[in-house]
Amino acid sequence: MSIKQMGEEEILTRPIYVLGHRNPDTDSIAAALGYAELKQQTGDDAVAARAGKPNPETQFALETFEVEPPILIASLRPRVRDVVRYGLVAAAPEASFSQAARLMRENRLKAMPVRDEEGRLAGIVSIADVMELYIDAVGLGDRAVTADDVRAVLERPVAEVMRREVVHFTLDDPLQDVRQVMAQTKHRSYPVVDEAGRLVALLSPSDLTDVPQQKVILIDHNSPEEAVPGIEEAEVLEIIDHHRLAGLQTASPLFIRMEPVGSSSTIVTTMFLERGLKPSRGHAGMLLSAILSDTLLFKSPTCTLQDRAMAEVLWEIAGVDWKVYGLAMLRAGSSLRDKPVGELITLDYKVFRLDGRRVGVGQINTMDLQETLERRGEFLEEMERRREADGLDAVLLMVTDPIEEGSEVLYTSADPQLMDVAFGRAEAAGSVFVPGMVSRKKQMIPLLTRAVSAVAGAA
């Protein structure tokens, strides 16, 4: 049959994304996996998502427990796939105009897409095209038109007159761009193709009048700077986090669970137990990995009795020796020699607003501090480049040795006085070893906050 018609019009429902922060660490990935499973067990259509590539430590955990990483979400800004209705009629290039016209009439269409045997968009044909071909073939007023004349026009193939240059969209086109194109072209409808160029739907301006917001649950962050681009256009339903409040604004009330513990995965595990449920072995292993990572095998000052208690539950489910596994995991993530400094700085990197200043702080763990210090010049050069490019007041990198329980802090700053107050080093760029400093959240950020306030007070 020459006329191709898809099934009943279909509107795909979208799940709730349980989404971690940019530059994801193990906690961001694991807590998303665990909380998505908890929501599924309690009846919600939730899907774990990530905002970036898993780092080597996280990848080790995923492979150890044979868990697929969460799906990647690069943006929450609405796209064509979020509003398109899957279901259309289309003509084949060899179809006659009589077939095409009949189907357009039955479906009240002024135009209809044409697709080839492989399903790709070939062109578009409209009633106006039929009339144009008719006028070209028969003429106006030259002679009487016979039934044979009309029949000859209507039996000609669509391919002879279809427009091959067609304004169309892809499923991933942002709706903001689509609206601009529609305003300029003013067509009734537009073909939509998938990544292979296959025709999948038609999109009309009316489809953009009431765009549904993507529903998300934020895990392990609550800062707009750490969230996926487009978070302001999404509907945030919940926040599960163990960090300080960081200024995210929402249009509607939401559920928030924030606790001063060492890991968001600790909170997720607690919520499983409160409901009389437990995670699968793979997700239990991931949640355990996150707690061990965030607390540096329970040595971090952020570690609480609750972190340890939840970890005990998890290692029983996962069936691993936490100390043997934890050391292997940290070792897998601490080999830094062959990685570009730009990649290392952003493995676990966040931008903080501290009393009007914007400061970027990264952290990497290593079992060989000296290996990293041999590249100190490379790190400082890249950190200064990033500071200037992003308009930051300072960029710091904590190179943490969990065995020695301390960090070499590399820094570059537009204000040497800030580093002088924080570390007793009045240079714009440099490094200093700080014994006992292993936590960005509980040690570094409070230290920098006090330094910023002191500098502001002295001004």
Q: What's the pLDDT at 8?
A: 39
Banded model confidence at residue 42, pLDDT cuts 50, 70, 90: very high
**Where are the domains positioned within the chain?**
16-78+214-333, 82-208, 341-458
For the chain, what percent of residues have pLDDT higher than 90? 55
Query: Half-sphere exposure of 337 toward its Cβ, with a 13 Å CA cutoff?
Result: 7
Banded model confidence at residue 388, pLDDT cuts 50, 70, 90: very high
340 vs 173: CA distance, rounded Å? 32
Detail the DSSP E strand segments found in 332-426: 349-354, 357-365, 394-401, 406-413
For the chain, what percent of residues have pLDDT higher than 70? 92
175 vs 212: CA distance, rounded Å? 12
Residue 234 near residue 215 (C-beta atoms within 8 A): yes
295 vs 303: CA distance, rounded Å? 5
Assign 445 to helix, strand or coil.
helix
Lowest mean pLDDT among 21-35, 199-213, 255-269, 273-287: 199-213
Residue 434 has phi, psi (to 5 degrees) of: -120, 105
Detail the DSSP E strand segments found in 160-223: 169-170, 190-193, 199-203, 215-219
What are the tens digits of pLDDT across the range 253-303? 999 999 999 999 999 999 999 999 999 999 999 999 999 999 999 988 899
Lowest mean pLDDT among 120-124, 132-136, 174-178: 132-136
Residue 259 near residue 245 (C-beta atoms within 8 A): no
Nearest to 310 by CA among 324, 295, 300, 330: 295
Class of domain 341-458: alpha beta
Residue 317 near residue 39 (C-beta atoms within 8 A): no
457 vs 459: CA distance, rounded Å? 6
What are the tens digits of pLDDT across the range 309-364? 999 999 999 999 999 999 999 888 877 777 889 988 988 898 999 988 999 999 99
Kindly state the average pLDDT of the residues 121-149: 69
Query: Half-sphere exposure of 260 toward its Cβ, with a 13 Å CA cutoff?
Result: 2
Residue-averaged pLDDT of the chain: 88
* The residue type at 261: V
HEC string of 5-33?
A: ECCCCECCCCCEEEECCCCCCHHHHHHHH
What are the tens digits of pLDDT across the range 412-448? 999 989 999 999 887 778 899 999 999 998 899 999 9
CATH number for the domain formed by residue range(s) 82-208? 3.10.580.10
Asked whether the predicted pLDDT for residue 3 surpasses 50, the reply is no
Residue 332 has phi, psi (to 5 degrees) of: -65, -30
CATH number for the domain formed by residue range(s) 16-78+214-333? 3.90.1640.10
Long-range contacts at 91-94 (CB < 8 A, ≥ 24 apart): 91/2, 91/3, 91/4, 91/115, 91/125, 91/158, 92/2, 92/3, 92/4, 92/116, 92/117, 92/158, 93/122, 93/123, 93/157, 93/158, 93/159, 93/162, 94/2, 94/157, 94/158, 94/159
